[in-house]
Amino acid sequence: MLSGRLLTVGPSGKPLWVRLYLRPLGEEWAAMILGDTVPPPPPGQVEGVVFLAATAAEAKRLAVAYLGDSVAQNEGSATP
C-alpha cells in the first residue's frame, strides 16, 4: 500500500491535513482519503472517501481532483 499526506483546505477554510492511501483491490486500485490521525484501513478493506480506477495513478488523480485546487503535497506524497 502506498500512502502520503496531503494539505488541503477544510470546510471552515482552515488548512487540513489528510492521508491518501493507494492499494490494489481486486483488479482495480483504490484511493482512500482519511483524516490525518485515522489509522490505515486493514488489508483488503477500504474506508473513508474512496475512488476506484484501473491504475494507481488514475485513482490518485481522482482523489486529488476531489480535494480541489487547494491541495499541496508534501515530500511524503503517495506516488504510484
Helices within 26-68 (DSSP H only): 56-67
Contact in structure between 63 and 51 (CB atoms under 8 Å) = yes
pLDDT tens by residue, 19-51: 999 999 999 999 999 999 999 999 889 999 999
Task: Give me the residue spans of the domains in the chain.
Answer: 2-73
Please give the angle made by the CA atoms of 3, 69 and 2, to the nearest 5 degrees: 10
pLDDT of residue 74: 44
Confidence of residue 78 (pLDDT cuts 50, 70, 90): very low
